[in-house]
Amino acid sequence: MTATLTASVCLLLLLAGIGNFGSDAARSSTKVATQLYHLEWNRVQETDQSWRCWTEGYRPNAANSNKMHETTNGTEAEVRRILGFNQSTTVLFMANSNSDNQNLRTEFTIAPSRMVRLSLDNVGLERLEIGPFAGNENDCRLADLSVPRNRLSEVPQGLDRLTVLRKLDMRHNALVRFPLDRLRKATKLKRLLLAHNQLEAFVTDDQVSFGELQELDLSHNRLKALDSTRWSAPVLASFHVDHNRMLTAIEGWSKTRFPLVRGFDPAGTNNWNQTWLKSVQ
């Protein structure tokens, strides 16, 4: 009798434990399913789209433009819905988040020749592309593309179609390779920011010229070699390449080719070849 009673009590305790485990699992599942992400965004729409290409000094016409601003804490589905806005009349869209977005997964496709400025900061981007393009069509509107603090591991498809790009910011992503010749049509580029990636290669197969490039940031990467022979940037003044610990020299570098760059810190975070360093300082 005692043995039977003991067995019954144990069975009840076991069932109660299973019930509690199930409740905890359900609560945990609900918590994950309802995780909220902070998002602040601005959008400018312009109803008159008769103009075609961006030019320096462009400002949306107040008479036919509409500005929106919103801050929200939403689910992943809501974030995706916001990022899926209609681009047909949008000339500016800027979104940023200050939450931990490790579990947020988003993608974005930029419609050609619509937006002038796009900024997606810490929105969980894992894939970005520009297009589709018809034939030899280019994008002559997008002047500012900023996508920092995401998880992009590849350069966006369609980057080689941007002809008026002035700024490209891809800091704090997961890029391993950056083919510079993908920007060969962006001849007016002024700022190229690629710090805090995992870059092992910054290369070009073709000669590229950036007559207005003023800032190039390749710091905090994994570069072991860097060849500047095939790129021209005569007004480059701000060049950051620190915290590439395996980098010993820059092929093709000289004060004649890059006269505005002040030089390199001999006691910095790179393993400079001192003979090379003295020759370019």
Task: Report the CATH number at residue 65.
Answer: 3.80.10
Residue 123 has pLDDT above 90, yes or no: yes
Residue 22 has pLDDT above 80, yes or no: no
3-state secondary structure the chain: CHHHHHHHHHHHHHHHHHHHHHHHHHHHHHHHHCCCEEEEEEEEEECCCCCCCCCCCCCCCHHHEEEEEEEEEECHHHHHHHHCCCCCCEEEEEEECCCCCCCCCEEEEECCCCCCEEEEECCCEEEEEECCCCCCCCECCCCEEECCCCCCCCCCECHHHECCCCEEECCCCCCCEEEHHHHCCCCCCCEEECCCCCCCEEECCCCEECCCCCEEECCCCCCCCEECCCEECCCCCEEECCCCCCCCCEECCCCCCCCCCCCCCCCCCCCCCHHHHHHHC
Least confident of 47-51, 154-158, 166-170, 226-230: 47-51
Domain count, the chain: 1
pLDDT in tens, 239-259: 999 999 999 999 999 999 999
Q: What is the mean pLDDT of residues 32-51?
A: 89
Residue 38 lies in a domain: no
Residue 39 lies in a domain: no
Q: What is the mean pLDDT of residues 70-94?
A: 96
Residue 139 has pLDDT above 70, yes or no: yes
Q: What's the chain's average pLDDT?
A: 90
**pLDDT at residue 281, as a whole number:** 86
Residue 137 has pLDDT above 60, yes or no: yes
Residue 180 lies in a domain: yes
Domain residues for the domain of 176 are 60-280
**pLDDT at residue 49, as a whole number:** 85
pLDDT in tens, 197-212: 999 999 999 999 999 9
| CA atoms of 101 and 159, how far apart (whole Å) | 26
Residue 55 lies in a domain: no
**pLDDT at residue 23, as a whole number:** 54
Residue 82 lies in a domain: yes
**pLDDT at residue 261, as a whole number:** 94
Residue 156 lies in a domain: yes
Among 29, 30, 33, 63, CA closest to 45: 63
Q: What is the mean pLDDT of residues 3-28?
A: 51
Residue 11 has pLDDT above 80, yes or no: no
**pLDDT at residue 111, as a whole number:** 97
**pLDDT at residue 228, as a whole number:** 97
Q: What is the mean pLDDT of residues 217-223?
A: 97
Residue 122 lies in a domain: yes
| CA atoms of 95 and 97, how far apart (whole Å) | 7
Residue 42 lies in a domain: no
